[in-house]
Amino acid sequence: GDSVTQMEGPVTLSEEAFLTINCTYTATGYPSLFWYVQYPGEGLQLLLKATKADDKGSNKGFEATYRKETTSFHLEKGSVQVSDSAVYFCALSALYGGSQGNLIFGKGTKLSVKP
Amino acid sequence: GAGVSQTPSNKVTEKGKYVELRCDPISGHTALYWYRQSLGQGPEFLIYFQGTGAADDSGLPNDRFFAVRPEGSVSTLKIQRTERGDSAVYLCASSLAGQTEDTQYFGPGTRLTVL
């Protein structure tokens, strides 16, 4: 079945460091790909998404490119801030059978940014 | 506008009891999803509604779990004969039309604890 694998956490970085969180997927067909973020004490919210191959999603300085050839959607940010400390979830949304849009999530990666 | 709301925010119950969890989606969203998130894991799909009908209930773990959306807006997740293993955060999400590329907007969740 469809699945998402993302790098294990926790990840601890210093402020202004470069961030990469790896995400790979297995899916039938052509899924849409998402990064959701969960800040401490808050609900899940969309960070960015890409709906077809080679699309780049971006938001708040974060970027991820939909790579069909490597089935990947790695999250990157050039210079992290303390306020980026959160849990990040990679997810895919595939159309199969009677299902539409059900999200399949990775396990999440906890990021802590130190001043 | 108002986001997705869920009530109660916390529910503590005893093993064997019946519980109901409520979700109020974003107005005008036809698609509604329920997910369950255990500690340290990503959310797992339970059931998807398109309008009033359950389009996909393949994620419901067993027949103790049931959900309804009688008027195509508010949804209730019902759990009979609760077990300790049902303890988790139950998340509700809605999207405009349930298409794979649509963004799902999540509520804050209901934390269920079964003693």
CB-nearest to A105 from B43, B98, B100 is B43
The 10 Å Cβ neighbour count of residue A79 is 11
* pLDDT tens track for B62-106: 999 999 999 989 999 999 999 999 999 999 999 998 888 889 999
Alpha-carbon distance of B26 to B104, in angstroms, equals 10
d(CA B46, CA B115) in angstroms, rounded, equals 22
Contacts of B89 (CB under 8 A, 6+ apart): B36, B37, B38, B109, B110, B111, B112
Token representation of residue A23:
């995400």
Half-sphere exposure in the Cβ direction for B95 (13 Å, CA): 20
Interior angle at CA B72, CA B69 and CA B74, nearest 5:
55
Residues from B in contact with A at Cβ < 8 Å: 31, 33, 35, 40-45, 48, 50, 55-56, 58-59, 91, 93, 95, 98-109
Contact A43 B103 (CB under 8 A): no
Average pLDDT over residues A82-88: 97
Confidence label for A94 from pLDDT (cuts 50, 70 and 90):
confident
